[in-house]
Amino acid sequence: MTRAFVFPGQGAHVVGMGLAVAQAFPAAADVYRRADAALGYAISDICFYGPEATLTATEHTQPALVTTELAILAALAGGTEHIVSYTMAQATAVAGHSLGEYSALCAAGSLSIEDAISLVRTRGQLMAAANAGGMAAVIGLDDARIDEICASVSHPDSSVVVANYNSPGQTVISGHTTAIEQASILLKEAGAKRVLPLNVSAAFHSPLMREAAQQLAHVVARTTINMPKVTVIGNIHAKPLVDVTAVGSELPAQVTSAVRWVDTISYMVAHGVTEFVEIGPGTVLAGLIKRIAPHAIVTSIGTPESIRG
């Protein structure tokens, strides 16, 4: 059996995440301490106690989720110093959905804990500052038709694109508000069961994030990136990030590009992965993976009980 570790992105967060794990496992508590020191404020308190409005602010959500995911992984590994060796022994590939890719890169030894958490803090700040456009979930329509409709209503001053290819029948679009509204009408006429506006602050994973991506690229260029020791499947092309250059290019470009989660899971299945372990709060990815690869074994690990096995 071949196993992959996967890490969720924004949307998986919930007040209280990681508290029981940190209380039960010193290795997890150590990750939170290191995150607090790296950020200069208590992200641990925001994870454990909220308030919800603070946790759901993008600039806090992103470091909070990566910290929690790495804390859970450290608990599984038996210490922060064992994260990479544990991943190498237990998984043949790793991937993360959107910001979860930073956790995957840390698990593979490409980023340090502190750098991964600091980068997503900057990423969250830049994305929140964009403060333009919106997003909507499209339920029950095939991706090719969604792509076609988005292209048909887009022009240089008002555009909409697919941001997340999450699972068959569940896709997220992103862009200018007017373009989303126009696309929503056509998507429903084309047979979409629902088009649901999302409560987000900006048009993530779209060209409207171009300035954020450019600024993030400068920060990534100053960050130490190591060769991944475990195969990391990137969001943009759903193929392995084969070297340091590929990782460095992926991280800023990912901000403006679609998350190709269907292709990511399909690629791993085609290359022999039969078991997926979701590491993080909740079961968001487990639900998506079961729709993409119904025959795969899927496990979610995010509580002390699940860590103990």
Longest dimension (CA), the chain: 54
| Residue pair 299/278 in contact by the 8 Å Cβ criterion | yes
The answer to whether residue 118 is catalytic is: no
The answer to whether residue 206 is catalytic is: no
Angle at the Cα of 270 from the Cα atoms of 264 and 272, rounded to 5 degrees: 110
Query: Which is the catalytic residue, given 13, 97, 176, 205?
Result: 205
Query: Which is the catalytic residue, given 13, 44, 60, 98?
Result: 98
Could you say which DSSP state residue 19 is in? H
Paired residues of 276 in beta bridges: 4, 298
| Residue pair 96/9 in contact by the 8 Å Cβ criterion | yes
Residue 135 C-beta-side C-alpha neighbours within 13 Å? 21
User: Residue 104 in 3-state DSSP?
Assistant: helix
Of 178, 162, 161, nearest to 170 by C-alpha is: 162
- Give the catalytic positions in this structure: 98, 205
